[in-house]
Each structure stands twice: as C-alpha cells, then as structure tokens.
Amino acid sequence: MAAGVAALPSARAEYVLRGACAAMAAAGALLLGLSAQTKTVLFVQKKAVPKDVQALWVLIVAASSAAGYHVVQLARCLFTARLAAAGAGSRRLSRGIACVSFLLDKGCAYMVFATTMAALQACFVGLVGVDALQWSKLCNIYTRFCEQAAAGMVCSMLAAVGMAVLAAFSARQLFRCPAGDLGWNGSQGSSSEL
C-alpha cells in the first residue's frame, strides 16, 4: 500500500510532464509551420517559409511526431493507471511496456534535441550571414519570420529538455519493476558472487 501511495505523486508528475512536453512540441511545430513573411526586395516579392531552410522543415516534422507520441503515451499512462487501480494487468507485460517506453522516450528526446540543434545552427547562418560564401544576413529583412522561428526553436528546446527528464522517469519505472520479471529465480545473490 505504501508503494502505491509513494508512486502516486510520481505518476502525477509524469502526467503533467508528458502533457507539457506534448504542448511545447506542438507549439514549436505550429510556430515554425505557420511562420511565413513576404517582403518586396528590389521590386520582387519574396516569401520566407520554413521549407526554405531544410533543417526547419525537419524540426517541424520531428516536433509534430514527438507531440503525437507524448499524447499517445499520456493516454497509455492513464489507461495503465486505471488497470492498476482495478487490480488487473501482468507484471511481465508491464516490464515489457516499461522497457519499450524507456527506449522510445530516449529516442524521442534525442531526435527532438538533435533536430533543434541542427535548425538552430542553420538559422544562425541566416542571423549573422557568412561573408566567405557571400551569404547575406536574412533576419534583418525577414524579421517577423526569424522571431517566430526563434520562438518555435525555444519551445522545441524546452520540449527536448522535458523529454530528457521523461526518459529519466521511464528509466526509474523500468528499474522499479520486480526482478522476477527478468526471468531470474528470485535469488540475485550478493555482490561478492558477481
């Protein structure tokens, strides 16, 4: 009974964190996906969109996928909590779900972090330019687009940090599962035997 009571605040924190990660990833994807600005440069109208910078487009896809993944995981957590409250469920199945959840949480955090860093690096070129390649600064022309892209990348970075914390929650959940579910006979032995 004490373990169930102690797990309750941890489960609530996971629900809140999963919801926040889904919201931040969705906000990042929406801010980036809906950012566009049209400017007239030398009598020619040019439109800046995220597809112009391939790394931004990849970040939109990654953040959208991460948001969807965390919504599905949040539903799984709520469903699992209801099963546990009803006393149903298999410990071996919960160990497998915890293992898969841990691996997917880690992969999702790495994916969002890596794509956010790639998009940040690509956008930094647009911010400062590269004189050696004769790439001019674009953020002084497309100011609103750059500000929206920066806000989207901040949301994505916050989502990535939250996802890293969620990976730690998943690791804790994985290693809290009983050792009998690993196929051991219950006697792990002492550290001197290892």
Ordered per-residue pLDDT tens for the chain, 194 residues: 444 444 566 778 888 888 999 999 999 999 998 888 887 777 888 887 888 788 889 999 999 999 999 999 888 878 877 776 666 555 656 677 778 888 898 999 999 999 999 999 888 877 776 666 556 677 777 888 888 888 999 999 999 999 999 888 888 877 776 554 444 344 444 444 44
**Dihedral sign (CA 141, 143, 146, 148):** negative
Classify residue 41: in a domain, yes or no.
no
The total of structural domains in the chain comes to 1
Let me know if residue 42 belongs to a domain.
no
The per-residue pLDDT for 61 is 94
Element (H, E) at 121: helix 91-128
In a domain, 189, yes or no: no
Q: Do the domain assignments include residue 193?
A: no
Side-chain-facing half-sphere of 57: CA atoms under 13 Å: 7
Give the containing element (helix H, strand E) for 137. Answer: none
- CA distance linking residue 122 with residue 172, whole number of Å: 36
- Say if 98 falls within a structural domain: yes
- Structural domain contains residue 111: yes
Helix axes 2-33, 143-176, angle to 10 degrees: 160
> CA 109 to CA 102: how far, in whole Å?
11
- Does residue 191 belong to any structural domain of this protein? no
- The boundaries of the domain holding residue 78 are 2-36+48-179
Token reading at 7? 């797990």
161 within a domain of the structure (yes/no): yes
